Every structure is written in structure tokens, then in C-alpha cells.
Structure 1
Amino acid sequence: MKIIPCALLSLLVSASVYAQQTADPGNFYARYSAQTNAIQSKQPNWPPPLVTTYTGLFQVVRTDYLRQITPTRTDTWNIDGSKCVSFIPFNRTEFDINLPPYIFHNTPAAKDGWGDMSFLGKFRVASGNEQHGHYVISVFALATVPTGQYKNGSTDASIAPNLAVGKGFGPLAIQTTAGTTLYVSKPATTTTGNPVAWNLATQYHLHKYFWPEVESNATWYKGGTNHGKMQEFVTPGILFGKLKLHPDDPKSRPGLTFGAGMQIATSQFHSYNHELVMTARWIY
């Protein structure tokens, strides 16, 4: 097997660790799980959208599989989608480690290879659960390291500061993020510029496990070869979960969530279209 998705390996490790440790309620996992439950109890209980970054704090092992169709009608597969593990180290804070995705091209003009590694740090500024305002406000920054092979990543490191806001109205949840990407040096500053991104996700809780959603993912290009252009996708999709490992225990955290959607270009300019998005998440 050429690659092993991060989440597959991590899911097995997490499941085995959980199974071995839950017998003793005084162990580290039990204490850490209780701390995470307490931190998340102060925010709405929404699932992370397919594309838009989650506005609250989340603890998950995740893998995504993306298939893009370029304007020249070639397929590109992104294995792992720049996802891996998110954890809540202490109050109001989240940290993500995203391993490099593996990029498959079905054209001899491009070589397959690893993409860029990234890290995300998030701070929850304010929040209220369903009984106390049903909202969340956070700030986060995504730092990317140029580890890509054969032009499957950026030429330079970058940091992307963002503001994230979410508001619930009964079973309806609206989450939005806005930010820009700042490259640290050339040639990325001249070829890519400093794109500004705005994402909006609307989700609806249907029955117990279903979360249908629609997202808008837009980017305005400032500087670089695409200066002045705008790219937007509308992404209908659905999430299913969470399927608890121990459904009879209300305090049990581990469980699975699955989802799928399709990014459809709505702007005249777009670098790809009809991106199939599939996600699997192990909540621990």
C-alpha cells in the first residue's frame, strides 16, 4: 500500500487506547475526557462542516478524500485533505496537526507526491451553549510549511489569520469564517499574492443523526497572477453522526461521523469544479 491515511491509523490507536484504559475511571484518559466535555459544554453542539473551519473547539481524528476536475477535464485526487488530529489542550484552546496530503494526478504532465504540512491554533473568545445564547466567536491561524513534492504544494511558508463566528436558531446553525493568507517570502508573494477567503456554512439538524448543509466558499485574489479575480463554490452536502462507541453512556465521547458533498463552481473563474468531498471522523 503506497500510503496509509492518517485517520485510519489514528482511529485504530485511539480505539485500542480507549478500550484498554476505560476500566479505571481515575486514569489520564478519563480525566482528560471529563475536562474536554466541560470545555465543550460551554459552546453549541454542531458538527464541523465539510469545508468551512469549525467555529468552536473540537477534538477529532479526521481524514478527507477530495476529487477535483480541472478545466482541462483531468482528475486530481487529494488523499487525507490536509487533515489529521485536533485536540483541546486546555480551556478555550484547540491545536491541530495536519499531515501532508498525498496528491494523485491522472495526467503525465504532473507528478504524484506529498503536499504541504500545516498546523492550526484556535482560541474561543466567547460562546454559549443552546441554553445560553447558542453562539460562538473564535479566532484561529493556519500555518503552512512548504513540504510539497513536485509542485504539489506552495513554494513558501504562510500563515492565515481568521475570524470565526457561529449562531444557532433551534435546529439551524450558521457558521462563517473570514481571513487572508500571508506568505512569508517570494516567489509565493508575487505569484499567489494574499488571497482573502470567506466561508459560510448553513446546517440543519434533522432527526438524530442527520445534518444536511449548504456552504459557500469564496476567495478574492489580491496580488499575484490572479489579481482581481474571484472564485466561489457552492457545496451541498450531508453529515451523519455521531455514532457513539457506547451509546448508552451519556458521558461517553468516542464515536464516528461520516459525510459527503460536492463543491460546484458558481464563478466564471475557477481552478477546478465538481469537487467530491468525503470525510470520516473519529471523535475521541
Structure 2
Amino acid sequence: MLASSARAADNAASSSAPSSFGYGVLATIEDYFANWFVRSDAAKASQPDWPSPLITVTPLLVEQVRYDQYWDTQSPNGVATDNFSGGKGLELIPEGHTELSIGMPPFLKRTYPRNTNGFGDLPYLVKLRLLSANEANGDYLVTAFMGFTVPTGSNVNGAGHATFTPTLAAGKGFGDFDVQSTVGVTFPSGGLDRLGMPLAWNTAFQYRVGKYFWPELETNYTWFSYGQNTGHNQLFLTPGIVIGRIPINDRFGVTLGTGDEIAVTRYRSMNRRWIASARIPF
């Protein structure tokens, strides 16, 4: 009788084990998402409080939805191009030192040649914050990036190959003034003779005026190696302004920005670009 009761208890325990395990996994997943904003708020509180520049990818971990619009008003061959989205999209902080950005493939509209409008490649970006301190503790940070593009675009609008862009970024604040800078090299998975391995060095200088206004000047430099533009380099200067974060409620806000990217070197991929940026940080 005792043996029979023991077997029944063992059977009941073994049958409930998978259920208990499954419940534990579901509870862990639920807890992860329930505490998402607790983690992301803690991550943002431990770093400087600057806005993302117009072009330079900020070393900050940010959580926002972003849409950019570019108007290339002139190019060396006389073609004007409108870029819808600029490859921006959803930026999330899944963990206290990490950001994941999932971009939208940009839609490119050209005045010439005909029938070349279409979507570009799908971009992703992963950030790993290495060092950080908020305004009360030094006002700086250092972050490593890895950017990817998936060759979803057409032959005209996409690279035709996946690309990988390891990048090192850093920023330092001095009261109302801050500097944010990135250096990265793009490696294509193929087509090196055409795409090359461009090195990009972008730096943004920002100054806070009042509560919401951040006039800025960016330098956007590219040096080309290996590809069809080997040996060339180009530099753009981008004066602009970022306005925000203007609160909507306790969680959501809005940030707006605009700027004018102007070529200052003889070699250039375009002459001028107007930029508009809209973000909803949360």
C-alpha cells in the first residue's frame, strides 16, 4: 500500500515537472518585458543627456522611433535624389549596456535616370556601451558599434552585397557643450573592386541653448580605399539644430532636427543635402 502511494506521488511529480519548467520560462519572459523600461531608464540615467546628432551616430544608448528625410539638391552629374527614411527606424535598449537598431530600407527617388526609383538595403546596428558616466560623474562615454546591411535593394539603389561596419564611438561633455565622434570602416562581403572599404569619420559639436535647443556643427569625412574611388576623400560640413526632448507625457517625447550638409572638397558624391529628422523617444 505504501509502495503504491509512493509510485503515485512520483508519477504526479514527474508529470508536473514539465509544466513547472514551462511556467518558469514564461514567468522569466514576462518579467523581462515587464521590467523593460526599468532597465532602459537605468541605462539612460548612467550616461550623458545629449540628443542624437543629425548624421553622426550617437555613442549614447537611445530608445526611440526615428524617421529622417534627405533631399540631395545637386550632385556632380546633375541628378537630384530624395531619400525617404534615411535608413532610420526603431532603436531599443534590450539590456543595460546594449542597443539594437532596426532600420527601414530607404526609398530613393531620382530625377534621372528614369525607372531607377526603389528601395535600398536593409540596415541594422548593434551598440555595446563600454564606458559611461552621467553629468554628475564625468559626462563621457565610449561605445563600440557593429553595423550591418542586408542586400535587399535593387542593383541601382543597393550595394548588391552585405556590408559590415565595425565602429568605435566616444563622446565628452563640457557643461552645455558636447562632442560626439565615430570612426568606422565598411567591409563588403563581395564586390570589393566596386564598393571598396571606405573609412568614415564623423564628429558632431553641440551646444545647449535654453532647455530644448541644440545648435550643432558636424564634420563628415570619408576616405576611400580599394574600390573604384581609391585614393579619393571627401568632407562635408553640416550646420544644423536639434530641438528636444519636448515631453508629450511621462514616457514619450518628441525631438526634431534639420540641417544642411555642404561639400567642401573637390571630390564629392553630392554637392548639398538638406536633412530633416523626427524622433519619438520613450
TM-score range, shorter chain: 0.7 to 0.9
Question: Is the aligned partner of 1:107 residue 2:112?
Answer: yes
1:217-232 alignment, distance < 5 Å: 217-232=220-235
Contact 1:113 1:150 in 2 (8 A): no
TM-score by length of 2: 0.86
Displacement of 1:193 in angstroms is 0.9
Whole-angstrom distance in 2 between the partners of 1:93 and 1:105: 36
Question: Is the aligned partner of 1:235 residue 2:238?
Answer: yes
Q: Which whole-Å deviations, capped at 9, do the CAs of 1:209-251 have from their partners, x for residues lacking one?
A: 10000000000001111100001100000011111112xxxxx
Question: Is the aligned partner of 1:136 residue 2:149?
Answer: no
Whole-angstrom distance in 2 between the partners of 1:273 and 1:159: 27
Partner of 1:206: 209
Change (3 A) 1:150 1:227: closer
Letter in 2 for 1:37: D
Change (3 A) 1:212 1:29: farther
User: Aligned to 1:100, what secondary structure does the other structure show?
Assistant: coil
Partner of 1:265: 263
Partner of 1:45: 49
Partner of 2:68: 64
Q: Which whole-Å deviations, capped at 9, do the CAs of 1:119-143 have from their partners, x for residues lacking one?
A: 1000000000001010000000100
Partner of 2:94: 89
Whole-angstrom distance in 1 between the partners of 2:95 and 2:88: 21
Number of residue pairs the alignment of both structures matches: 252
Q: Larger Rg: 1 or 2? A: 2
Partner of 1:254: 252
Whole-angstrom distance in 2 between the partners of 1:124 and 1:161: 14
Question: Is the aligned partner of 1:216 residue 2:214?
Answer: no
Letter in 1 for 2:161: D
User: Aligned to 2:267, what secondary structure does the other structure show?
Assistant: coil
User: Aligned to 1:49, what secondary structure does the other structure show?
Assistant: coil
Displacement of 1:109 in angstroms is 4.2
The partner residue of 2:179 within 174, 184, 197 is 174
Contact 2:63 2:92 in 1 (8 A): yes
Letter in 2 for 1:131: A
Letter in 2 for 1:42: S
Displacement of 1:192 in angstroms is 1.6
Q: Which runs of 4+ in 1 moved over 4 A?
A: 27-30
Whole-angstrom distance in 2 between the partners of 1:75 and 1:110: 14
Displacement of 1:106 in angstroms is 1.1
Letter in 2 for 1:237: G
Q: CA RMSD in A?
A: 1.5
Whole-angstrom distance in 2 between the partners of 1:280 and 1:30: 28
TM-score by length of 1: 0.86
Partner of 2:132: 127
1:177-196 alignment, distance < 5 Å: 177-185=182-190, 187=191, 189-196=192-199
Gaps of 5+ in 2: 1-30
Whole-angstrom distance in 2 between the partners of 1:222 and 1:28: 44
User: Aligned to 2:242, what secondary structure does the other structure show?
Assistant: strand
Name the stretch that deviates more: 69-78 or 171-180.
69-78
Contact 2:140 2:171 in 1 (8 A): yes
